[in-house]
Amino acid sequence: MMRLLNRRALVTGASRGIGRAIAIAFAEEGTDVAITSRNLAALEETRAAVEAQGRLCHAMEWDVSDIAIAQARLEEAREALGGLDIIVNNAGVHHLPDQAGSEADWDYVIDTNLKAVWFLTDWGAQMMSPGGAIINIASDYAFRGGNSIYGVSKWGVRGLTRGLAQKWARQDVRVNGIGPGPVATEMSNWRDGDPLERASLPLGRLTLPEEVARVAVFLASDDASAVIGETIVLNTGNS
């Protein structure tokens, strides 16, 4: 039985990795999906995979750090799909822990990873009917720390997820998060084939995007109807 049959979802940063896996997993569960990327052409593979499941897919070019058009993009997604039941704030940028970065780097990472998540969560919840679900992709950095702009931004995502969950639970919109550790994606800086890298992980491997997607399906579904304000960590024991 499909757990998300005939629901409508927006997934940001869906051209690859975790975002693509979530969009496809939602389609497999019966969801129509709007997807975003900074490069529209990069969404074609995801769009084809969603449509191969017989679901509607609406692709939008958008750098989520451009908050000025956030409400317009939310409205475009809602109009294209006939409503919004699920939002996944996945789009993000990464800086290594040893990269202090410039002020411009700080602003871009915070605008993309934190500020955009705040506004898409708060504004998106206003567009949802009761029973909606918002899932923010944080990081295990939000639990174990990290001396980087990225780490700071993901601590913030964990915090805003808990805070806005309290606000929107009263309107029957659930806000939760997922905190992946190293994931086997292009964005990851881990060398998955390196035996030293593998030995540093208790399970001996990276988390797979599809494993993150399965948790997203759970959080979006009625199975998680009492889960509010939580950020679930997936890091193969890398605590």
Each residue's pLDDT expressed in tens, for the chain with a length of 239 residues? 899 999 999 999 999 999 999 999 999 999 999 999 999 999 999 999 999 999 999 999 999 999 999 999 999 999 999 999 999 999 999 865 445 568 888 899 999 999 999 999 999 999 998 999 999 999 887 788 766 888 889 999 999 999 999 999 999 999 999 999 877 766 555 555 555 556 666 666 678 999 999 999 999 999 999 999 999 998 876 66
Catalytic residue numbers read 150
C-alpha span between 239 and 220 (Å, rounded): 25
Q: What is the pTM of this model?
A: 0.91
Strand partners, 132: 173
Query: Using CA atoms in the order 158, 136, 15, 101, what is the torsion angle rounded to 10 degrees?
Result: -20
Q: Decide: 145 and 186 in contact? Cβ < 8 Å.
A: no
CATH class, domain 8-230, is alpha beta
Amino acid occupying residue 61: E
